Structure 1
Amino acid sequence: MHMLDRTIALCKAASKSLMVAISILSTSAFAEEHIAYRGEVGSFVNDFVGDGHDRWHTGSYQKSYYSQGYQLRWLQGLELRSRSQIVSPWVSSKQRGGDRPYSTAIGVGGFAHGRISGFETRLGGEILLLGDGTGLEALQRSIHDGLGMEDSFDPSRDDIDRVETTVTSRFDLEIARSLRTNEFALVRPYAEITFGGDRYNTFGTDVILGPHASASIWTRDVVTGRLLTPQANDIRGLSIVAGIDVRSAISSIHLPDNGLVNIEPKQFRSRFGIQSSSPFANIFIGQARLSEGFVGQKESQRVGLLSVSFSF
């Protein structure tokens, strides 16, 4: 409980720091009457509703809140994000020759969304707590016990390596270009640099076919790269959302340098899903394919994607 209390205190401190930053940005340098809350969006990722196995990128959830109206090219909108992630090895009988360590993370961060010379930019970072202090291991174990998943990976039953409890940070710079043939078709190529605890160089393209192609605010799911928009609640209809990217991977917070396995230097991600928005609910259901994340990984992984919000 002591470590969990420290985790909560860390998140509260980081949240207060972000709110201070917002208050500074909302001073006389901006037209305060134009700054407004713009919406929120969440993303849930789980392997059990993907390929059915309990391994590697086993579960994550993130939630973002947006405000708009800041009068700078590099800062037209502000995103505050919290997220959690569980990364685990596979059972030893399935993955032989070494596996990744068990790792959990919770983080809070902020990102500035802007537009420069026709390009959309997203720049920001987050503070993350790794290890036992997150409390996610106990949560995973209780969920597995409650669902009767006796054959699933359980960190309490297996002698495994763990990522040590530590505090780290990561930062993202994304540059994208929205190309539209009409209001129902969007092609959005992008490049992203991630540095800090994680170091990646990512290049990819997303495609939206349907009414959601008209959205102008976009962010990404950290694990799968899936495009997310808080404007989905304001749009009505059905859309196809797809994307693919390739990344040069240098380091990961979930694969320490002194671990048993090394990071796979070239990684691929692809995703596909359906976004449905009505006056009552906004739902996204999809799948993503993640290539091998470490050298010696037996196979790629498929995970399920889900976002649900209701209008009351």
Structure 2
Amino acid sequence: MIRFFTAAALGLLFLTSQADAGERVRLGYGRLINNDFIGDTQDRWRTGSIASSRIYGSGWDGALPDRFGDLLEFRINGEIIAPDNLVNPAAGDRPFAGSLSFGMHTHYQHSKTEISMGLDMVMTGPMTGLGDFQSALHDGLGIEEASDTALAGQIGNGVYPTFVMELGREYALGRAAFRPFLETRIGVETMLRAGADITIGQIGGGELLVRDPASGQRYRTMQKSPAGYSFVVGADIAHVTDSAYLPASRGYALTDSRQRVRAGMHWLGENSSGFYGLTWLGEEFEGQGEGQVVGSIRLNLNF
């Protein structure tokens, strides 16, 4: 099954890259930083990540195109996953993992259903350099670094083609919008996820929003909204069948389900804009004991 979806995604991306490539221009850019230090102030598990998207197409009229491949997103994600204690990891705690991915996705709609699909090439292990990056950052900030023991037990080098697809549909509720969605991921982690988001306010309307894989928060890739505020809440639940970050070969058992509950606020002023959100992440493996809260932030400050 994994081989089938990987082959399909590779074919999808090849065809997409060939279609009208010369007519595309850059339409937008988005990013989101997640860290548990700006959430529950801890330094553990899904401790830090960054998502970045660049959008290309022939134009944008406030709605997704109805043709596959017309709108492209080039996506870069980096994530550091760590045990609860970086210095003396407890037996059975999750291993340190660095993850870096590069992908291409297309966004379009069919019969009012919004479709996002594409392929990420996910790299793990010391070759990503993320373990060294975190150590240097912690050293500069005077924070405890990951010990040699923690880094020696990290997830090893690997490359995982990962197919991602999300189906969503938005329903207007006065000034609010309700958007249920289904998502599947097959690759570095294999899962099926279902959830919904509610947005109250106009910011983000008529724009392309992209879902951050770690928190589930949706970040803006365009600046087409009037000044003001939007408040967002959302939740989802996933059934995960396989995870390269929690390998069964090391004795890890995945939880029966993986939950996320999130809230946040977009604001847009005359010269600046931003987003801040909080996401509760439920337990991901047997023995984790409790969930965690990560914060998400994006700032655009123009002086």
**Interval containing the TM-score (normalised by the shorter chain):** 0.7 to 0.9
What does 1:181-192 correspond to in 2, within 5 Å? 181-182=173-174, 184-192=175-183
What does 1:1-312 correspond to in 2, within 5 Å? 24-26=18-20, 32=23, 35-69=24-58, 73-91=67-85, 96=90, 98-150=92-144, 154-156=146-148, 158=150, 161-182=153-174, 184-232=175-223, 234-311=225-302
How big is the shift at 1:235?
3.7
- The 1:245–1:19 alpha-carbon spacing in structure 2 relative to 1, beyond 3 Å, is closer
How big is the shift at 1:273?
0.9
Determine the C-alpha separation between the residues in 2 that align with 1:269 and 1:185.
21
CA contact (8 A) 2:203 2:225 kept: no
Q: Which amino acid aligns with 1:59?
A: G
104-113 or 248-257, which deviates more: 248-257
Q: Deviations over 1:18-55 (max 9, x none)?
A: 99876522259xxx3xx432111101000111111111
Normalised to the residue count of structure 2, the TM-score between the two structures is 0.87
Q: Which amino acid aligns with 2:160?
A: T
Determine the C-alpha separation between the residues in 1 that align with 2:166 and 2:18.
24
Q: Which amino acid aligns with 2:146?
A: D
CA-atom RMSD in angstroms: 2.5
Determine the C-alpha separation between the residues in 1 that align with 2:302 and 2:98.
32
Determine the C-alpha separation between the residues in 2 that align with 1:147 and 1:255.
29
Q: Which amino acid aligns with 1:221?
A: D
How big is the shift at 1:161?
2.1
165-174 or 112-121, which deviates more: 165-174
- The 1:93–1:135 alpha-carbon spacing in structure 2 relative to 1, beyond 3 Å, is closer
- The 1:165–1:213 alpha-carbon spacing in structure 2 relative to 1, beyond 3 Å, is closer
- The 1:87–1:256 alpha-carbon spacing in structure 2 relative to 1, beyond 3 Å, is same
Q: Which amino acid aligns with 2:48?
A: G
CA contact (8 A) 1:215 1:231 kept: no
Determine the C-alpha separation between the residues in 2 that align with 1:285 and 1:27.
35
Q: Deviations over 1:44-70 (max 9, x none)?
A: 000111111111001100100112338
Q: Deviations over 1:113-169 (max 9, x none)?
A: 01011100001011011100011111101111111113xx61436476211111112
CA contact (8 A) 2:207 2:223 kept: no
Determine the C-alpha separation between the residues in 1 that align with 2:149 and 2:156.
18
Q: Which runs of 5+ in 2 are unaligned?
A: 1-11, 60-64
For these two proteins, the number of residue pairs brought into alignment is 287
- The 1:54–1:233 alpha-carbon spacing in structure 2 relative to 1, beyond 3 Å, is farther
Determine the C-alpha separation between the residues in 1 that align with 2:86 and 2:253.
17
How big is the shift at 1:243?
0.8
- The 1:110–1:154 alpha-carbon spacing in structure 2 relative to 1, beyond 3 Å, is same
